[in-house]
């Protein structure tokens, strides 16, 4: 079977998802990772560059990984994969572009195309260069593909990540009947707009004095990140503070139960390539409220599986949260529709079978050259 070499973060759960699927397909996989990690059945070559440490440093500090380029190029030539695939258009994409290895596949993920090329002329030139060197470009949302086409006229294929609907599934009796629960599971970063959710929730809590229809209101915030101290400070001064719980990083084995414990999940992102979290919660038959940014709306059948509001608006979030809290029929119907929508549109196996066909095309094109 064919051999893939990924330039990717081996500690990322989405990268693991790609590897698990294509290992089962019989592919031999090796990963060159700048951030460590390990995946069963995959040989990981670790070029640890403390990615998280340099994230907020100066531009040239972020390019420190380039010191490994000669070593990485020699490694790729030794591996001799049937194709090289970079997962992320900026860092890994730049490395891949410099390798000169063909065929070269490049995937865009989100901030690498929405933010990176807008941070300066150099970054814009790098993205254009990376796309120029790529033989195939993949995107995990239609909106992200449109964004990529600002920097290249090449075709961009859509490769949704999907969700494991056998794992993310409704759980009976997961909800605490004493509470009406709003929830979010996201990295605690500014771009996810969680401060607006907290503001909206506090206003809702105050309006109903913490109780609706005999149930106490509560908000669960799952995740960790740089914004956590600021969010905790925001909550500390609120009337609703005792009803807001920070869950910390939600471990993989309890994430499904956590989604199922919520009556409504809210994702008030300021930027979003595609709403994976929204898909996961809907698969658990939980309706969602999301923002009209980037590829986020592609993750919801608006008005049927969830509501869409404008970003940075605590007022619109409050209105949508109140609507789903007070209208049982709408909320339950949306939950049922949400599960059906995800199974029909974003089932992991179906989405990755589509990606497998793209890989077949890459291999066929290579053979015919």
Distances from the Cα of 160 to the Cα of 258, 295, 323, angstroms: 24, 11, 30
Identify whether the C-beta of residue 5 lies closer than 8 Å to the C-beta of residue 76: yes
pTM of the full structure: 0.86
Tracing tokens 């789903």 back to the chain, one arrives at: 324
| Pairwise CA distance, residues 14 & 29, whole Å | 15
Report whether pLDDT(153) > 90: yes
Residue with tokens 């993750």: 299
Residue 61's pLDDT is 59
Over the chain, what is the mean pLDDT? 93
Mean pLDDT of the 185-203 span? 96
Residues forming a β-bridge with 295: none
Report the pLDDT averaged over residues 300-319: 97
Q: Report the pLDDT averaged over residues 281-299.
A: 96
Which helix (H) or strand (E) element contains residue 345? helix 328-345
- What is the percentage of the chain residues whose pLDDT exceeds 70? 96
Mean pLDDT over 86-111 rounds to 94
Look at residue 54 and tell me whether its pLDDT is greater than 50. no
Q: Which stretch of DSSP H or E encloses residue 247?
A: strand 244-248
């Amino acid at each position: 079977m064919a051999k893939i070499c990924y330039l990717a973060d081996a500690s990322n759960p989405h990268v693991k998802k790609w590897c698990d699927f294509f290992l089962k397909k019989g592919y031999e996989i090796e990963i060159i990772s700048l951030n460590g990690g390990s995946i069963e059945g995959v040989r990981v070559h670790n070029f640890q560059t403390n990615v998280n440490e340099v994230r907020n440093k100066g531009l040239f500090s972020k390019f420190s990984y380039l010191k490994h380029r000669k070593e990485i190029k020699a490694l790729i030539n030794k591996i001799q994969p049937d194709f090289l695939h970079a997962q992320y258009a900026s860092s890994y994409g730049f490395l891949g572009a410099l390798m000169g290895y063909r065929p070269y596949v490049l995937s865009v993920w989100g901030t690498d195309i929405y933010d990176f090329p807008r941070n300066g002329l150099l970054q814009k030139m790098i993205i254009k260069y990376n796309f120029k060197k790529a033989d195939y470009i993949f995107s995990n949302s239609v909106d992200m593909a449109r964004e990529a086409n600002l920097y290249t006229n090449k075709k961009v294929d859509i490769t949704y990540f999907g969700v494991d609907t056998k794992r993310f599934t409704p759980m009976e009796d997961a909800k605490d009947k004493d509470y009406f629960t709003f929830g979010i599971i996201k990295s605690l970063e500014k771009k996810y707009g969680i401060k607006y959710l907290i503001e909206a929730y506090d206003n809702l809590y105050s309006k109903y004095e913490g109780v609706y229809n005999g149930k106490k209101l509560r908000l669960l915030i799952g995740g960790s990140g740089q914004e956590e101290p600021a969010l905790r400070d925001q909550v500390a001064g609120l009337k609703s503070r005792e009803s807001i719980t920070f869950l910390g990083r939600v471990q993989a084995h309890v994430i499904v139960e956590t989604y199922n414990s919520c009556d409504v999940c809210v994702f008030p992102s300021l930027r979003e390539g595609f709403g994976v979290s929204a898909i996961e919660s809907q698969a658990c038959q939980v309706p969602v409220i999301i923002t009209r940014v980037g590829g986020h709306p592609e993750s919801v059948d608006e008005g049927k599986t969830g509501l869409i509001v404008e970003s940075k608006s605590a007022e619109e979030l409050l209105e949508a949260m109140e609507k789903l809290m007070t209208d049982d029929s709408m909320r339950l119907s949306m939950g049922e529709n949400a599960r059906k929508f995800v199974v029909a549109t974003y089932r992991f196996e179906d989405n990755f079978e589509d990606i497998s066909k793209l890989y077949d095309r890459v291999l066929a094109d290579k053979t015919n050259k």
